[in-house]
């Protein structure tokens, strides 16, 4: 029903906006809750057992994270008499809140729910989960000052490594995208302490790249690597384009995805964290490997096919192809 959909999407926007606009922890928490409650019906809309299972898992993790956040902010108010987000000073609630937000966006080692949840959703809701749902917790992470840098660096490094290793063994595209999301978030958290503007840049480019990747898979109607292997009969132009999008997601120069990684490595080196930068760069190679594998399946193998009855890609809907054109262009050539 369009009315219900409109209401839910409004709720989604409202929750994020409230969190953006709040300087009080209680209001921020409320925004996150509205956000979670709005996306849950969207996730379960197809009434598929897997979708319902994914929704349940998502609800439980998000409720846990929100409860942790509320507990930490109450503890902070109790210890310091301060509800202001900017004024956090006590290390205990600070650490707790950082961990709660990490659980909310799925940073390693609190990442295990993300691939499971994403695998149960359709590509459109999956896209919302991978992009829009990250905004509110990120706004809070950017606002809290003087967190112990060790925590953030540990979370970030763990995420880039887990995102690299985890995606290697996957054949399902949504799980690969989930691990890629974990890895990208790791990069953003790594630099959060030293250069917040770079974190925002990385977040923005990640959004553009994820958007085009999800749209490509949606146009192809593919959810596994096997389905991609026969996509050259459905959409030949798209098949030659997708590897570029995927390699950009992996961070290969001269594509867009290289830009945030390049700047982040430079900033880490400036901060005398060369070993950290080296580890992060090596973990990016892991991600690159599984993107390359998908690209190989798409473009360098010819699969047997009898897809004569498939509608040609030219007749697909313009409301899908126009954003796709814009997003893929941005993903490939923004550097």
Which of 221-235, 245-259, 289-303 has the weakest average pLDDT? 221-235
The answer, yes or no, to whether residue 317 has pLDDT greater than 90, is: no
Amino acid 127: pLDDT: 97
Measure the CA angle with vertex 112, ends 60 and 20; round to 5°: 60
CB 165 within 8 A of CB 146: no
Amino acid 52: pLDDT: 97
To the nearest whole percent, how much of the chain has pLDDT over 70?
96
Q: Which residues contact 319 (CB under 8 A, 6 or more apart)?
A: none
Amino acid 27: pLDDT: 97
pLDDT band at 231 (very low <50, low <70, confident <90, very high): confident
pLDDT digits (tens, 9 = 90+) for 60-69: 999 999 999 9
Closest CA to 191 of 133, 260, 250, 244: 260
Amino acid 321: pLDDT: 83
The answer, yes or no, to whether residue 283 has pLDDT greater than 90, is: yes
- Would you call the peptide bond into 9 cis, given omega within 30 degrees of 0 as the criterion? no
The answer, yes or no, to whether residue 312 has pLDDT greater than 70, is: no
- In whole angstroms, give the CA distance from residue 239 to residue 327: 16
Amino acid 145: pLDDT: 83
Give the orientation angle of helix 132-143 with respect to helix 25-43, to 10 degrees.
160
CB 42 within 8 A of CB 8: yes
The answer, yes or no, to whether residue 313 has pLDDT greater than 60, is: no
The answer, yes or no, to whether residue 138 has pLDDT greater than 90, is: yes
Amino acid 298: pLDDT: 87
Amino acid 23: pLDDT: 95
Q: What is the pTM of this model?
A: 0.94
């Amino acid at each position: 029903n369009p009315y219900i959909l409109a209401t839910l999407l409004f709720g989604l926007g409202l929750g994020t906006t409230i969190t953006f606009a709040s300087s009080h922890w209680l209001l921020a928490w409320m925004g996150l809750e509205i956000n979670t409650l709005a996306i849950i019906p969207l996730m379960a809309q197809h009434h598929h057992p897997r979708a319902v299972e994914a929704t349940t898992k998502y609800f439980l993790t998000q409720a846990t994270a929100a409860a942790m956040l509320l507990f930490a902010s109450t503890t902070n108010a109790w210890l310091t008499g301060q509800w202001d987000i900017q004024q956090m000073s006590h290390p205990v609630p600070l650490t707790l809140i950082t961990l709660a937000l990490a659980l909310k966006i799925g940073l390693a080692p609190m990442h295990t729910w993300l691939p499971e949840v994403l695998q149960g959703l359709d590509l459109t809701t999956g896209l919302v989960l991978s992009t829009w749902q990250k905004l509110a917790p990120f706004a809070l992470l950017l606002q809290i000052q003087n967190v112990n840098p060790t925590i953030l660096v540990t979370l970030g490094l763990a995420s880039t490594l887990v995102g690299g290793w985890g995606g290697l063994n996957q054949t399902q595209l949504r799980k690969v995208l989930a691990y890629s999301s974990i890895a990208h978030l790791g990069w953003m958290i790594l630099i959060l302490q030293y250069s917040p503007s770079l974190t925002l840049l990385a977040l923005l480019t990640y959004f553009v790249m994820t958007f085009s990747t999800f749209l490509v898979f949606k146009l192809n109607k593919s959810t596994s690597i096997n389905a991609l292997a026969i996509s050259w009969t459905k959409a030949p132009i798209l098949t030659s384009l997708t590897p570029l999008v995927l390699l950009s997601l992996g961070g290969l120069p001269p594509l867009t995805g290289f830009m945030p990684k390049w700047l982040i490595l430079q900033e880490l080196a400036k901060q005398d964290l060369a070993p950290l930068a080296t580890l992060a760069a090596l973990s990016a190679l892991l991600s690159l490997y599984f993107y390359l594998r998908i690209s190989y399946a798409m473009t360098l193998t010819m699969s047997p096919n009898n897809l004569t009855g498939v509608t040609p890609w030219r007749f697909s809907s313009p409301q899908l192809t126009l954003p796709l054109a814009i997003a893929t262009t941005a993903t490939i050539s923004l550097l």
